[in-house]
Amino acid sequence: MYKVLVTDDISPKGLEILSNDEEIDLDYQPEIKFDELLEIIKDYDAIITRSRTPVTKELLERAEKLKVIGRAGVGVDNVDLEEASRRGILVVNTPGANTIGAAEITMAHMYAVLRKLHLAHDSVKAGEWKRSKFMGEELDGKVVGIIGLGNVGSQVAIRCKAAGAKVIAYDPYIPKEKGDRLGVEIIDDLHELIKMSDIITLHCPLTEETRNMIGKKEFDLMKKGVYFINCARGGIVDEDALYDAIQEGKIAGLGLDVFSKEPPDDGIRRLFEFPNISLSPHIGANTYESQDNVAIKIAQYVIAALKGQFVEVAVNAPFTITEGFENIKAYLELAEKLGSFLTQYAGGHFTEINIEVRGSIKQHIEPITAFFLKGFLSPILDTPVNIINAPFIAKERGVNIVKSTREAGLNFKEFIKITARSKDKEVSVGGTALYDKFPRIMMVDNYWIDIEPQGVILMFENKDVPGVIGKLGTLLAKHNVNIAGFRLGRLEKGKIALGALQLDDRLNEEILEEIHQIPEIIKAKQVIL
């Protein structure tokens, strides 16, 4: 028997699944206090929580038998993932279980501000009958710009198209073929989408890349009279810039379910002065159906994990390093770095990724693939990605993974080559581990180059003429940025060269813009490894 403790309120449908399993001894204590939990946790094989219960290092230290932590929801902020991983405790959550709820609350806010339903409601309740005061706009015929075409964004797209809207989307990590299937035009440039849209709705995760992604520049580019909806994450929007846009009369209607601070502080609450604003307290997943789905899935996942079955939504499952794997640890690190490098350097829109492993390490292609996908996906998601859930996430995002092996190469006996393809481009990166210990990126596209995958790397293509490095060095020196290393590759003298500068400090947007102004520079991209 496995003892399972549920410490937060979940749908009875999930409890029923747990109760009906002959191998599960269920203890349901949704109001248990943390001090009491500390005293009894030693007796349980699994714990299921929501956001109320903190699964801290202190708790895990006392959890002598704990094998699985189930988080009924997407976020795992209340779980000490590092400590759980260190102790070999599997953490599972329920991504996608509340997709429809999140999509529908987006539509609710959208219709509310288009038709001023919330304002009309208050007016009628106050005893008024001022029909002409509430002239609205129709979704039919509007251009809806969706930023983030994942699970929720896709469902919003389907609903907007059904209402007669033209739907466009920006998501650099979703293949264009997915847009084709949905009847959605994929726009490669965020700012172009912003300028084209009558309604803008956010559905991307909160990552370092997306934090404050919608700021003053983006609001300035929007049409006057735009409708703006955010039911994704509060930190994606610079709320000071949003307030200024409202003050300038840029926005016709605003719908918000999320805020950078929850509950909102006074700085955010000043947004509420705007009359046509529809607000809710982060309730996108608060539907009976979503909560049923969450409870059912978490019960199924926890039972499967306890019985030793593969759980594709594991958040943290550590990869077991056996004696055989010890010899390829450097190649696993290399694979992860190649994945992160590829995403940061080349962006997305990849429909197929070919992972080719050469030499004696080819027998370990499965863990190499998992580590690569972890590196490839981590920079673009705000939920934990590990070697267990990374293949599942890639599949969910419509990326076809092709694995192949070859005998030892001529230049390097052991080599990992990644080729990423989309409809209109192909990018390849590859590398080896020197002396089987030191990971190196040795190939970018057709250029042979030797890059230590560590720290800040400025990748750039330039015309192969004298003086380019001097100009670049002078510019960086002006901004007090020190160069730690330099590598150069070229295919033919006098044509195009590929450079990699390893820097001591990150570059801000201003410096990157200046680099792009150097006439000989064709393109430049900062990569953080």
One-character DSSP codes across 69-83: EEESSS--TTB-HHH
Q: Which two tokens stand for residue 93?
A: 């959550």
282 is catalytic: yes
Q: Where are the alpha helices (DSSP H) in 183-328?
A: 190-196, 216-221, 239-247, 266-269, 288-306, 323-326
Q: Determine the residue type at 11.
A: S
Chain-centroid distance, C-alpha 32: 33
Catalytic residue, chosen from 36, 262, 273, 426, is 262
Chain-centroid distance, C-alpha 314: 16
Strand order in the sheet with 143-147: 185-186, 166-170, 143-147, 199-202, 226-230, 251-256, 277-279
CA distances in angstroms from 1 to 23, 46, 88, 89, listed in the order given? 5, 11, 20, 18
Q: Determine the residue type at 271.
A: L
User: Under 8 Å CB-to-CB from 298, ≥6 apart: which residues?
Assistant: 10, 14, 48, 70, 71, 72, 92, 93, 94
Contact 105, 330 (CB under 8 A): no
Tell me the C-alpha distance between 242 and 239, whole Å: 5
Can you tell me whether residue 431 is helix, strand or coil?
Answer: strand
Q: Determine the residue type at 47.
A: I
Contact 231, 278 (CB under 8 A): no
User: Under 8 Å CB-to-CB from 383, ≥6 apart: which residues?
Assistant: 74, 75, 76, 93, 95, 205, 315
Catalytic residue, chosen from 282, 352, 396, 490, is 282
Tell me the C-alpha distance between 275 and 263, whole Å: 20
349 is catalytic: no
User: Under 8 Å CB-to-CB from 354, ≥6 apart: which residues?
Assistant: 402, 403, 404, 418, 419, 420, 421
262 is catalytic: yes
Residue 113: HSE in the Cβ half-sphere, 13 Å Cα cutoff: 28
Tell me whether strands 199-202 and 226-230 are parallel, antiparallel or unpaired. parallel
Catalytic residue, chosen from 233, 358, 364, 421, is 233
Phi and psi at residue 286, to the nearest 5° = -85, 65
* Exposure class string for 442-458: b at 16+ Cβ within 10 A, else e: bbbbebebebbbeebbb
Tell me the C-alpha distance between 338 and 342, whole Å: 6
For residue 356, list its beta bridge partners.
404, 417
For residue 430, list its beta bridge partners.
417, 443
Tell me the C-alpha distance between 500 and 479, whole Å: 18
Q: What is the dihedral of CA 175, 180, 184, 186, to 10 degrees?
A: 40
CA distances in angstroms from 178 to 113, 145, 181, 348, listed in the order given? 29, 16, 5, 13
Active-site positions read: 233, 262, 282
